[in-house]
Structure 1
Amino acid sequence: MTTTTSPHTPPRSRLGHAYGEQLARNGSAGRPTAAALESATLRLAYQDRFLNGPAFLGGSELRTLVGDLHTVYGLLRSLPERGFGGSVTALAAAVGLEPSQAALITRSARTGSLLPLGRADLYHDGSGFKLLEFNITSALGGFENADINRAMLAYPPLDAFVTRHRLRYEDTLGHMVRTMYAECAANIPAGRAPVVAVVDTVENFAVVGPRLRVFAEKLADFGVEGIACDLGEITYPNGRPTVAGRTVDVVFRYFLPEDLTDPVAAAQLEPLLTAVERGGLGLFSRLDAELYGNKGTLAMLSDEEHRDRYDAAELACLDRILPWTRYVRPRATDPGGSRVDLLSHARGHQHELILKPTLLHGGNGIIAGWTVDPAEWESRVASAMDGPFVLQRRVRPTAEPFPDGAGGVRELFLNWGLYLGARGTEEDGYAGGFVRGSADPAVGVVSMGSGATVGCVFHGGDS
């Protein structure tokens, strides 16, 4: 695989190249990650695994990408009407949710509103960004994104570069809070700070509780009284959800539908949903958000057989940003639009395909064809047949220039986590971002679990 940019090909990151050249020209020394490593919040989230510089997005590049992501978001939200007769329940069944999960999601869809909020996970293949997954949920992580930007700006050469090029960054947590206020307006009290419980299941909270406590504390910066707790800590005197003696106005949801197959968690959720249905509690975000962020819904958008649902502009967007993605079924259309036996296609294109479960998160259960032998690959795909799995065409990320910490530049391959919020903001829906970088172009998934390091994103600079 070629990892360098031809002299005749414009680099994806002109700003990244310019920053590297500035460091080399000025002989800049020092560690831009020093302030990040001194932050207890960032150490808790990422230990010491930080890139030696930020990633950059040009302003026009960002505007085009955010426009495409809003188009995809709108198409995902319209799937019940476009393909399932308006039924959220039918869509839930189609993506593989169990009946009990579908029932909870359907109940949630009848309450409050649902505004754009999500994280797009993308690779850039040298010609454009490709959308691997679209996590549409309140359980996004990323609330420390702006902390990484601020920590990196303590490095004088970067601060000077950002100022010279008039670059900016977005505070992801601020966008989340504004979206929460808008969605749960009926439950936000007048004259005092709202009490917001950041909630996960008992089992999950035992692992992520320390980080969610930091999250709850950071909400104070936005005029919110935050409490981090698990579902089992909420009581309901007189039907009002209460934690540690404080009545809760809004639950900031960190549990996922996959967590609710546990009968104990489902039972603990029941009085919470009842309080939401009665109007005494805001839920952010609604559980049906998970439907639209399911990997299977991207397969529905990608599938050749559904192209008559979309107009020319929508099709152009899908062709631009979505890699070929199909449910694992005996017959499907290949990238050229021909009907094929999918298992035979998977065998013949093993090194260009990745198998993903639709109902898991965080990279769990993903098998990259190029990382296993043919026998295991065939067995995995065959076992996934007719189940909640998709096959997706491999996207080969282009190399990006990063300081190597020793005065030079090295090439890394990035998984971009870019956040989408409601339109109407200065950046028209861009809610900040971060990147995960790997030196291995053949890694199955560029993620913290596969050894990636993390960095922040600055944008702008077109002029």
Structure 2
Amino acid sequence: MDTGQTITLTRSTLGRAYRAQLARDAVPAAQLAAEAVASDLLAVGYHRRLLPVPVFLSAAERTALATDLATIHRLLTSLPERLFGADAGALARGVGMNPVQQETVRRGSAGPRLVRLARSDLYREREGFKLLELNITSALGGFENAEINRAMLRHPSLARFVERHGLEYVDTLETIVSALRAECAEHLGADRPTVALADWPESYRTYEPRLRVLAALLDGMGIDAVPCHVGHLSERNGRLEVHGRPVDAVFRFFLVEEIVAPRDAELLEPVLRAVEAGTVGMFSRLDAELYGNKGALALLSDERNRDLFDAAERACIDRFLPWTRHVRPTVCEPDGSVCDLESFAKARQHDLILKPTLLHGGCGIVAGWTVPPGEWLARVAEAVDGPYVLQRRIRPLAETFPGDEVGTERTMYLNWGVFVGDPQVTGSDGYGGCIVRASADPQVGVISMSSGAQVGCVFNEPRPSAAAASPDLGSPAERESQP
């Protein structure tokens, strides 16, 4: 029936509509994620800590996120040209890398262009999404997120809802593999190329099971993947090998932050020589972490660099990035006034978070609102002129989820891990899927698995051009359940 009105579904109204459907169907929350919780594959990475329902993303939000993330990625990767006379080594120094890391990045930056691949850490506040970090590397957690979507869809309640509203999801692993094949194209011509999933020796001890999950998934995509660490890689007859097998490409899970001393660089030497000789592909290039470094975000946010960006770029930075600065003896406040760091940090303790520029997974982060004043000021003082940034605290909006009992609700706070791919490779708008981490603690410093978060998947409306061909918005009763 034509009502003469245009009904636009959004993420929040979709969520309310789905909770209303669950209440009508009297479905206990524990049943909704039973298939995902039972999955041994998902248990490796997420320890069966899964949200009972997915999160929904509107077409407009998907488009805006893809656009803003692409803009920020482009600005970050242009920093050497805009700020350092095209000297990537100067950027490496500027974001806090030591001389060993600078040289490693220089040597590992050869080859074709860096294909766009990243995962954001976003909080959503009242004004919209804010970007806390943009992880630009091949070592991205959440690669198996589509397995959560597929497992959740085995429950008929969600399957009906997704079909009725024409929702979809993006398989992030397909986005990652597309980037791998594009960045290492000259090395992956074989029908089933051999790819080393290479971690660092220390982290491999705990991450090996996750790499074996990835290897199994890649096997179904036509790639022979071998989990290993860099110490397992060696040269023979001019080729890089792993466990005696010639390697076509190295899928890099080790990070520049792990290459600290000369002995670390020596361990990596066979890989770097093979990359420089052009006998093996490297995914992703080692300079990727220059641009995903938290210090690089501070360079975008710094008011002293505003003239380097045009009006549209500045608007994106102002809208999307929270205030972020390197830790220096003086600081420029958001209103442009300059004051000493100690006074600034003391006055704004509960609105600031201190982050190391290189570490990942929440390591080394100090949220001002979670520690006593004396400890906070001491930690800030220790960070002065070091590889640290201060960032404005983002208070994520509460999101409502079904409670354990039918008809009840609970409040959660989300970290949105939106992936961004390369439209030239994927043929899409660059949106590469999403995974969320959720905490019930409104004061949590970092919403992460290490802080006890649960993990959930995301379904989104199609892009507007596709949505026009999918007008089914459900029955009148369902439409009336949405505000």
CA contact (8 A) 2:33 2:51 kept: yes
- Find the counterpart in structure 2 of residue 335 from structure 1: 334
Query: Cα distance, 1:385 vs. partner?
Result: 0.7
Q: CA deviation digits over 1:323-353, x for unaligned, max 9? A: 0001100122111122221221111010000
Note if 1:141 corresponds to 2:141. yes
- Find the counterpart in structure 2 of residue 372 from structure 1: 371
Q: Tell me the SS of whatever aligns to 2:32.
A: coil
Matches within 5 A, 1:337-376: 337-376=336-375
Note if 1:129 corresponds to 2:156. no
Note if 1:87 corresponds to 2:77. no
Gaps of 5+ in 2: 1-8, 472-483
- Find the counterpart in structure 1 of residue 101 from structure 2: 101
Q: Tell me the SS of whatever aligns to 1:414.
A: strand
Read off the aligned partner of 1:173 and give its amino acid letter. Answer: L
Query: Cα distance, 1:304 vs. partner?
Result: 1.0
> Measured at CA, do residues 12 and 332 of structure 1 come closer, stay the same or move farther in structure 2, by a change above 3 Å?
farther
- Find the counterpart in structure 2 of residue 162 from structure 1: 162
Q: Tell me the SS of whatever aligns to 2:202.
A: helix
> Measured at CA, do residues 24 and 232 of structure 1 come closer, stay the same or move farther in structure 2, by a change above 3 Å?
same
Between 21-30 and 225-234, the greater mean CA deviation after superposition: 21-30
Cα distance in structure 2, aligned partners of 1:90 and 1:100: 13
Read off the aligned partner of 1:306 and give its amino acid letter. Answer: N
Q: CA deviation digits over 1:282-336, x for unaligned, max 9? A: 0000000000000000000011111101000001101110000011001221111
Cα distance in structure 1, aligned partners of 2:444 and 2:50: 18
Q: CA deviation digits over 1:130-189, x for unaligned, max 9? A: 000000000012121000111111111111111111111111111111101001111112
Root mean square deviation of aligned Cα: 1.5
Q: TM-score, with normalisation over the residues of structure 1?
A: 0.95
CA contact (8 A) 1:16 1:400 kept: no
- Find the counterpart in structure 2 of residue 38 from structure 1: 38
Cα distance in structure 2, aligned partners of 1:443 and 1:60: 29
Cα distance in structure 1, aligned partners of 2:374 and 2:307: 37
Note if 1:418 corresponds to 2:442. no
Q: CA deviation digits over 1:351-405, x for unaligned, max 9? A: 0000000010000000000001111111111111111110000000001121223
CA contact (8 A) 1:20 1:401 kept: no
Cα distance in structure 1, aligned partners of 2:10 and 2:185: 45
> Measured at CA, do residues 379 and 12 of structure 1 come closer, stay the same or move farther in structure 2, by a change above 3 Å?
farther
- Find the counterpart in structure 2 of residue 3 from structure 1: none
Runs of at least 4 residues of structure 1 off by over 4 A?
A: none
Note if 1:291 corresponds to 2:290. yes
Q: CA deviation digits over 1:8-66, x for unaligned, max 9? A: xx986221111111111222235111111221111111112111111111011110111
- Find the counterpart in structure 2 of residue 432 from structure 1: 433
Cα distance in structure 2, aligned partners of 1:156 and 1:262: 54
Between 21-30 and 283-292, the greater mean CA deviation after superposition: 21-30
Aligned length: 453
Read off the aligned partner of 2:389 and give its amino acid letter. Answer: V
Read off the aligned partner of 1:82 and give its amino acid letter. Answer: R
Q: CA deviation digits over 1:172-222, x for unaligned, max 9? A: 1111111010011111124x2111110011111111111111111211121
Matches within 5 A, 1:239-318: 239-318=238-317
CA contact (8 A) 2:104 2:265 kept: no
Read off the aligned partner of 2:138 and give its amino acid letter. Answer: S
Cα distance in structure 1, aligned partners of 2:273 and 2:431: 34
Cα distance in structure 2, aligned partners of 1:47 and 1:263: 36
Note if 1:188 corresponds to 2:185. no
Q: Tell me the SS of whatever aligns to 1:457.
A: strand
Cα distance in structure 2, aligned partners of 1:422 and 1:281: 22
Cα distance in structure 2, aligned partners of 1:236 and 1:427: 39
**Matched residues, percent identical?**
54
Read off the aligned partner of 1:253 and give its amino acid letter. Answer: R
Cα distance in structure 2, aligned partners of 1:311 and 1:263: 41
Read off the aligned partner of 2:315 and give its amino acid letter. Answer: A
Between 352-361 and 23-32, the greater mean CA deviation after superposition: 23-32
- Find the counterpart in structure 2 of residue 451 from structure 1: 452
Q: Tell me the SS of whatever aligns to 1:241.
A: strand
Query: Cα distance, 1:90 vs. partner?
Result: 0.2
- Find the counterpart in structure 2 of residue 150 from structure 1: 150
Gaps of 5+ in 1: 1-9
Read off the aligned partner of 1:180 and give its amino acid letter. Answer: L
Q: Tell me the SS of whatever aligns to 1:121.
A: strand
